[in-house]
A and B are shown apart, each in its own frame.
Chain A
């Protein structure tokens, strides 16, 4: 009985400090140190409408935009997830065929793998620089702009996430597409 009372007292104090105080301190720190990312790294147009988060992928299907990696959840940012298919699964082969057809990849011009493989959360905001360059031809044609101009834009957006510990340079798809739309 005494044990129960002691347990309740300690449960109350740990709840107060662990769930309450701790959260409040981290919230306060976030508000001071990084208010924009603390709210979800949202990107807004000058008129205030939010177009998305720079951390989250969104669907792009029009030829005039760069396309992100496939998403097993249709880029649902309120119910994220992966395909959870085994790498040996015939379902993955079927999706691979679909993506290859959509991008128009051929044996002579194979598709970079990140454009065929879905990410873990279905919201990976990046593609590899290679995968972006691979799409330059289509995007440039759809926008009737010289491919070299679009290519320069891609290269300007490419970055190495881990510095010297990174093998592959990446591009943020939403930011790249926003830059494309800018006159």
Chain B
């Protein structure tokens, strides 16, 4: 107990230095938490994917539409309990240079789409209103908040994939069932897209962008995938069917180089924590060389003294780590605000917190290693002679 008091007394000898070191570690742990959270947000689509949903798209690439009549043929495949479809609309809302003005817009089948996505929770009266009106749309709660859209508001945008000016009336605002549900999307009736394009660009076909399938049990995934794809293998639009998780994963893959660099940076951060902390410990030990020699003379063993050094390093690194974790939450919030819509779902995961503390702990141990070793091996006479 007394020895522990010595550790604390030592910590408070250079209050400013100890505080600065803790702050330095806190900063690094915060950056670590932020980066891990960003990487996690990238994967949000994958974690949010339902185990019993599949996506069927054009084999060659997602940019090619697939024919509408496929719907019935897919529905007949054994194991499929529901089919819906959607089209990526694109579009330009307001100033295209403002990131806030970009959010996913899909033309969907109002009768089936929300059945297949139970995580998009829409009050029944709003769903009914959405089904009734051709130019109605449903938007996510977060999107509504960001732009101040209310029920009955009109959203106008310029088409890019589909030409002309487009207008919708907000008839529903959905909320996410889970924390990982994307609340920034917008849905409108596929029929509206179909009719408008026929009017505006006669002769241009409008097909389904991709189909969403629900299967009875996750065990059926592989069987359904091959059954669906075999059916269309020789048609004019061959398909690729995969679980929603794999589909989302392919989007994450597209940015894998950026994710990898972020992971490299998070290792660099651990190195920075180490340097800041090692610096402080090295300095403290050097200043106290004579004291350690005195303690040795009094009969303390080298190991006990090394224990002091380690204890000091760990107290600093752990308090810094905890402080850093507390700071992670506001910084993540601020970051999400600076880049809205890039990451519709951004949450600090428990594993991130654990890793942050773990990194601080590891750095504490590593930082103390060299100075502790120095203390153990220092001959008493040399230590006593040292001038700080």
A binds B: no
